[in-house]
Amino acid sequence: MYFSEVFRVENPEQYEWFDPILEIDSPLFIDPFAIFADREEAWRNAHEEIIAYFHDAFAILAQSGLNKSHQYYKRTLSLMEFPEPEEFRLGYAGKGTHGAGSGPGFAAKIVESMVYAIENGLQDVRHFEVLGILVEGINCDRISDITCNLLKPHFIDYTQKVCQSFNIPMRVERLRHGVYNELRMRWEDVECEVPVDPASDRPVLLVPKRFLSELPKMTEFFSDTSLRDDLNLDISKNVKKSEIIRLARRTPELLRNWELRQEQTQFVPYDVDADPKLIVQWQRVAKSILQGEPGPTAASITSEVELLKFVHAMIEKFRHWAEDKGGWRVFWDSKSDAIPEPNMQLLFLGILDGYCERAGLRLDREVETGRGPVDFTISGDRRIRVLVEMKKLTHGEFWHGLRVQTPIYMRGQEISSAIFLAIRDSDTRAMRDRWDKLADEASSVRAETGLTIEIEGIDILPRRSASKA
């Protein structure tokens, strides 16, 4: 459910705060550049606190003489640890909202990058996203997590004001990493009033919509034309990030120039309300589908065959909505591009979850959003389970998903029946051939593995209106 549904706030789209889904993270990220350029002085000042924090960290590290055994070096390591800010319901997570955060391992990588920067004349950084460019593994998710951690006191205050304006109940909770003790140079937990999700009994923090993006600007560095020109590097040729890091480190002035360009570029947030890529509204869409499409019945599922039949029936309901009732439209954004595969999977998750709940079945989503393939396991009880693997037809590893990934998942989870669900999102000759060969390929995989892998397909290609057909 959405925050607004739980706390009965009507028409949440008219307000400036983001209305999060409480059970699972939304793959959106807080972009620190948005806060840097915000129209409100209070938020711009908050960004200055981020700058000051990293400036102090650089100063402490420099005083250590870059000696790893020095107490200041160790203190810098502790300052670079940022726990997963679960209260925000943002970023990539596997099941629910438990992401990775930035623990000791990544803290060490960040400090190593700071050491390199100091050795090459960068005594501080105006935007800590530069460290993301210099450190392998510091991605958009962790940049957002760091921002949430550093500005958590401000987001606590923001959430409290929203709740007070809507009379949303709050209670005192202990939040990790809630306040920074400048005197002791360490983060401390804080007890404060916040709203709490009654289903999970965990606190929630809200953020302004205007700070959210699909990817923070740190990622734009890797496709920056000036970087290609200066380094004679063709980014489009699948160059590894480690290679880009090595080249960027050789020319630290590129980092300074990049910072200046980003400061001068107007930030455009993701349009949460229009949601052209179905990042957030998938749950509302799923609920509307479930209201209009009564699900299949599952009165007596006592065998894997019966469960498999039920799952086919669920997919058939989904296909009928997508192909015959105009549902295909939600799979395409305003630019007539298909929405990302993880977002399709989220919608599919919402629909299957609704049908399973009605039938008294359990749906488990096994792999995290946004990081590789996603599979769903539907269980009647511990003895009977069916795996569903969903892939866009245009996915670069489509055949690998059928031939290799699905059998691996089935053996790993000791499941003997699976459905490979193909989403048809292209009508090129190559994709038509792939679509036509699907049944034969599945037959070959069954013969080779001895596993029951059945095929389903949903065609989301845009249809012409009846008047133009």
- The one-digit pLDDT tens for each residue of the chain (469 residues) are 899 999 999 999 999 999 999 988 998 999 888 898 899 999 999 988 988 888 888 888 888 988 999 999 999 999 988 888 999 999 865 444 444 445 677 788 888 877 776 776 655 555 565 655 555 555 567 778 888 999 999 999 999 999 999 999 999 999 998 988 888 888 999 999 999 999 999 999 999 999 998 864 444 444 444 444 444 444 334 444 455 455 555 555 666 666 666 666 777 889 999 999 999 999 999 988 888 767 676 666 778 888 888 889 889 999 999 999 999 999 998 777 889 888 888 888 888 888 888 877 777 765 433 333 345 677 665 567 888 899 999 999 999 999 999 999 888 888 889 999 999 999 999 999 999 999 999 999 999 999 999 999 999 999 865 444 4
243 and 381 part of one domain: no
- Are 386 and 311 in contact, with CB atoms under 8 Å apart? yes
Query: Based on the number of CB atoms within 10 Å of its own CB, is 237 exposed (0-12), middle (13-18) or buried (19 or more)?
Result: exposed
253 and 139 part of one domain: yes
Number of residues in the chain: 469
C-alpha radius of gyration, the chain, whole number: 24
Residue 274 resides in a domain: no
Residue 275 resides in a domain: no
Domain end residue (candidates: 211, 236, 264): 264
Report d(CA 21, CA 233) in Å as an integer: 41
Residue 273 resides in a domain: no
105 and 249 part of one domain: yes
Helix (H, G, I), strand (E, B) or coil at 186: strand
Q: Which residues are bridge partners to 389 per DSSP?
A: 375, 420
233 and 301 part of one domain: no
Residue 464 resides in a domain: no
Residue 107 resides in a domain: yes
Residue 345 resides in a domain: yes
223 and 310 part of one domain: no
Report d(CA 47, CA 291) in Å as an integer: 44
- Cα dist from 428 to 399, 420, 464, whole Å: 17, 21, 17
234 and 313 part of one domain: no
Q: Which residues, at least 6 apart from 378, have a Cβ–Cβ distance to it below 8 Å?
A: 307, 311, 352, 356, 361, 362, 363, 364, 385, 386, 388
Residue 467 resides in a domain: no
Number of domains in the chain: 2
20 and 79 part of one domain: yes
Report d(CA 363, CA 135) in Å as an integer: 37
Residue-range definition of the domain harbouring residue 321:
282-459
Amino acid at 111: V
Report d(CA 377, CA 349) in Å as an integer: 11
SS3 content of the chain, % helix, strand, coil (to 5): 50, 15, 35
Provide the pLDDT for residue 137: 52
345 and 389 part of one domain: yes
Domain end residue (candidates: 264, 295, 321): 264
Helix (H, G, I), strand (E, B) or coil at 137: coil
Residue 469 resides in a domain: no
Amino acid at 210: R
121 and 206 part of one domain: yes
Provide the pLDDT for residue 371: 34
Domain end residue (candidates: 264, 295, 318): 264
229 and 317 part of one domain: no
46 and 113 part of one domain: yes
131 and 257 part of one domain: yes
Q: How many CB atoms lie within 10 A of CB 450?
A: 9
